[in-house]
Amino acid sequence: MVDKVIEIPVSVEIPVGPQHPALHEPILLKAYADGEFVVKVEVNTGYNHRGIEKLLELNSFYKDIFIVGRVCGICNTVHTNVYVRALEQILGVDPCRRARYLRVLAMELERIHSHMLINAVMAEVIGFDTLFMNIMLDREKVMKAKEILTGGRVMADYMMVGGVRRDLSDEDAGRLTRIISGVRKRLEYYKRVFEEDVTIGKRLVNVGVLKRRDAVSHSLLGPVARGSGVRIDARVSDKYDAYDELEPEVVVRDEGDSWARMMVRWGEALISADLSLRVLQSLPRDCNPVPDEKKLPRKLPAGEAYTRVEAPRGELTYFVMSDGGVNPYRVKIRTPSFTNIINSAFLYEGYTIADLPVILASLDPCISCMERALVTDLKTGSRKAIPFTELSRGEEKWGGRGYYLQ
């Protein structure tokens, strides 16, 4: 017989994300905070695995060129370039100089607009909405230049085995020269803004400091590593396409903080603009860069190839194996974003919650938007859903001590 009934409060927690209509892309970032300081961060990915590597095995080598371009919308040109170069190694095909120069032009335009995009995002994160809109306005000129060259504003599908899919006329080369020259002046202006603006300095300098030895031991890539004094660049080490003739400069800074990583990107964007102008001024006329697809063999000989390219976010590698059939036997893709996001989880520790979106943006993750987060009170269990950018506005927005940010 029960003498007394005691009611126990039960709380039911409903997870929001990683798959949720309110979230733009499926990724989960868990940050444990003691007061205003982050003590631990967990990064969970893989919620939207598309099985692209398996899909490549189920389609022909030439259809796969269009599939690998969909791995990343921002840097689709470098994905198709590194895959096509792997096929060329297996086939023993060597593109002519004009084709190699046009490939470099397409990839450098992509690097410019990618770096402008993440710097614009950083401006928005720290509250400079006008700077964000101005950078994006000038970035649109680069997208127009890419469209003139490749025929596609976003998805280019420009690379093909033995060359490229479109040649460049003298008239269009002149248009590109005028556009890039104008954009270069704007890049110099934005670089000065990031160098001289006091507020940008207060938000980025000495935030998310990555030491050189940590960048090396955690295998970080691209501008993230170069911002910490690590001189790595596949364009210089591998000298693929026309980079053996153009010899790009490697931008390296030693500060290692969020500001240094953004300044590396501005420096690289300027060098990419100079490279693009050099390509247009010295474009070879040795051949037709558009090969006849009908003459390409349907089956590739048995063999394998490993190729690298310096994508805007770092080293991108492809391994392609052929067993002598129509389809590849195996394709392995290693992207720089995954390495930089997962291996840099330690970077947030010791900084405030307001610094978290700044550090994340400085890594240039290949995620279009980390729009909102959940803040959980560890004492009461209550939750608040807030825009991600509001985390940078201070303690009054998210509550105080003993909070769990998810």
Counting residues of the chain whose pLDDT is more than 90, the rounded percentage is 64
Q: What is the pLDDT of residue 119?
A: 95
Residues facing 197 on adjacent strands: none
Q: Where are the beta strands (DSSP E) in 187-335?
A: 303-311, 314-322, 330-334
Residues 6+ apart with CB under 8 A from 283: 98, 101, 102, 168, 173
Spell out the domain ranges in the chain: 56-335
Q: For the segment 244-272, what is each residue's pLDDT rounded down to a tens digit?
A: 999 999 999 999 999 999 999 999 999 99
Angle between helices 97-125 and 258-281 (to 10 degrees): 150
Q: Report mean pLDDT in 10-residue bins for the chain, 406 residues.
A: 50 35 54 78 73 91 93 91 96 94 97 95 90 96 96 90 94 96 97 94 94 94 96 94 93 96 97 97 92 91 96 95 95 90 88 85 67 46 51 46 39
Phi, then psi, of 205 in degrees rounded to 5: -70, 135
Q: Which CATH number fits domain 56-335: 1.10.1040.10, 1.10.260.40, 1.10.645.10, 2.40.50.100?
A: 1.10.645.10
Secondary structure (DSSP) of 302-320? SEEEEEEEEETTEEEEEEE
